[in-house]
Amino acid sequence: MDKRKLGNSGLEVSALGFGCMGLSFANAPSKIEIIKLLHSAYEEGITLFDTAQAYGNNEELLGEALSSFRKEIVIATKFGFKEGNHQLGMDSSSKNIRATVETSLKKLKTDYIDLLYQHRVDPNVPIEEVAGTIKDLIQEGKVKHFGLCEVNAETVRKAHAIQPITALQSEYSMFYRGPEKEIIPTLDELGIGFVPFSPLGKGFLTGTINADTDFDKTDARNMSPRFNKENREANQALVDLVVSIAKKNNATPAQIALNWLLTQKPWIVPIPGTTKLYRLQENIGGTNVSLSNNEINDINARLETIKISGDRYPAQIQAKIGK
């Protein structure tokens, strides 16, 4: 697989990463199957593995699965919640950052974290203080690179002035293009990489979801207004577009969605997640699709005519993030 550098940091990773959060869901495969899946990802050329302390037993799984080739990969994890538990609320105090880093190092069976993200902004701790703590951890050798998740351009600039940011992680796909307004231009200016999560629109861009789809009662998409029946029906035009492009290119809709992201900037590295080997292989195939400049321009022009209905999150959460 081709490699990409995350901005000006020099951190080189595979063009496609692996988002590991789903490996800790209630309906996830067995540990043996998960380890086989992660090994397959590495064997297929994936070197960026994304986890977080807030993802249940995720770090432990990665620590066991990836230890045999630790030096050949990049592990990204996250801090920002009390005791690493999102249910306890945010805490990006220096004391908590240091405590959660030590815990992550033990769980991941490593003595350094390649890329450490602040999972969410803590309104009680100035971002400059957070960046200062990470700067100290980098000087101590426990962390190699600093990242932020789901922040605005102003926050990026404030943090970057204290400790250069290697990557920003936020949602970005054909299904959610909010970062194009301010975030991507800011990252381009400052030389920061972009790691989109949910690059397949939480499955919507795979072409396997429509207005009649019934989600399992435990499925988090039940909480998203964007995935209610009416909005799925309203947003079907986007799926139809992706499916039509896929047919013309002898590819799957997921591969088109991933390749579209890869064409936007050379420092964008999507991190699709899956629990299935065939989906992993399908996603990797997205790096081999060759969309021409004319096709990309046509897709972008047609995307401008499609209005996406529904917020990403429930009203209470949407009000907090303001986007």
CB 311 within 8 A of CB 318: yes
Distance CA(95)–CA(201), nearest Å, equals: 35
CB 272 within 8 A of CB 302: no
| Nearest residue to 112 via CA among 99, 122, 102 | 102
Tell me the three state secondary structure of residue 193: strand
Distance CA(257)–CA(291), nearest Å, equals: 11
Distance CA(264)–CA(1), nearest Å, equals: 18
Residue ranges with strand state E in 71-159: 74-79, 113-118, 143-149
Active site residue 55: yes
| Nearest residue to 166 via CA among 149, 185, 141 | 149
Residues paired with residue 49 on neighbouring β-strands, in sequence order: 18, 75
Distance CA(240)–CA(205), nearest Å, equals: 9
CB 269 within 8 A of CB 193: yes
Pairing of strands 12-14, 193-197: unpaired
Which segments of 142-252 does DSSP mark as H helices, in order? Answer: 153-162, 183-190, 229-234, 236-248
Tell me the three state secondary structure of residue 166: strand
Taken in order 274, 276, 282, 285, is the CA torsion positive or negative? positive
Catalytic residues: 55
